[in-house]
Amino acid sequence: MLIIAHRGASGLAPENTLAAMEKALELGASAIELDVHRVEDQLVVIHDRWLQRHTDGHGLVHHSTLAALANLDAGQGQRVPTLWQVLECIDGRCDLNIELKGRNTNQPLIELLSQAQLQLGYQPQQFLISSFNHPKLMRLKQLQPDLKIGALTASCPLDYARFAEELGAYSVHIDVNFAEPEFIADAKRRGLKVFVYTVDEPEDMLELQRQGVDGVFSNLPDQARATLGSH
């Protein structure tokens, strides 16, 4: 079962920062999930639309500038990194799930992934792109048919697995509160991987493993490794 460090090892370092990425790698996460918004012509790694929960700044992320962001404290002296900085930091050492948030992210993403393959040696299959914004995923898939995409949902609409299959998704990413055995079985029958977020309780991890899910997003990848590694 894949252990995907959620926002990096965000239970142990400020979320979505380079420190959280380094920590996740050190703890042996199979993959790292992170959230991106567009600022100017680049993607930056931050979860919220607003700056105030994560940083000492204020206002909407997409109204900010790269220069202004570079001066903010994202916790413990960490900065809000660009996606390129994260790609350089990880340097191909694990797989990445990039969750697209905010507006106009497809074009900079496509350019960046191609640059990461050419300059940093990433393999295309190391990238899994997810979003709650399904029309955006659909457009991305049309632009880059070979890209792995993950259909992300905060609930679990009827026939969601069929929808994801029709979207050409590689995986479905579902909330732990909606991880019903029937849904998991249906998704797997359709050849989809099932990844569940956010799972920090060992009992949940073991139950999901019994149900055959393919991976969990956890803020505590070390605890997930300790729980799942021995079962």
| Distance of alpha carbon 9 from alpha carbon 20, whole angstroms | 5
3-state secondary structure of 153: strand
Element (H, E) at 66: helix 66-70
Are 188 and 179 in contact by the 8 Å Cβ rule? The answer is no
The answer to the question of residue 15 lying near ligand G3P (CB under 6 A) is no
Please report, as a single letter, which amino acid is at residue 57.
Answer: G
Residues 122-141 that bind ligand G3P (CB under 6 A): 130
Shortest Cβ distance from residue 6 to ligand G3P (Å)?
A: 6
Annotation says 6 is catalytic: yes
Torsion of CA 175, 78, 129, 200, to 10 degrees: -20
Q: Which does 15 bind (CB under 5 to 8 A by kind): Ca ion, ligand G3P, none?
A: none
CB of 128 to ligand G3P, least distance (A): 10
Q: Which residues contact 96 (CB under 8 A, 6 or more apart)?
A: 31, 32, 33, 34, 87, 90, 126, 127, 128
Smallest gap from residue 98 Cβ to ligand G3P (A): 10
Distance from C-alpha of 88 to C-alpha of 210, rounded to nearest angstrom: 36
Task: Pick one of Ca ion, ligand G3P, none as the site partner of residue 152 (Cβ within 5 to 8 A by kind).
Answer: ligand G3P
Interacting positions 67-86 with ligand G3P (CB under 6 A): none
Query: Does 171 help bind ligand G3P (rule: CB under 6 A)?
Result: no
Residue least distant from ligand G3P (Cβ): 197
If you write DSSP's letter for every residue of 171-182 in order, what string do you get?
EEEEEGGG--HH
Q: Which of 6, 37, 54, 173 is labelled catalytic?
A: 6
Partner in contact with 222, chosen from ligand G3P, Ca ion, none, beta carbon below 5 to 8 Å by kind: none
Give me the active site residues, please: 6, 47
Note the residues at the interface with ligand G3P (CB under 6 A).
6, 33, 35, 47, 99, 130, 152, 173, 197, 217
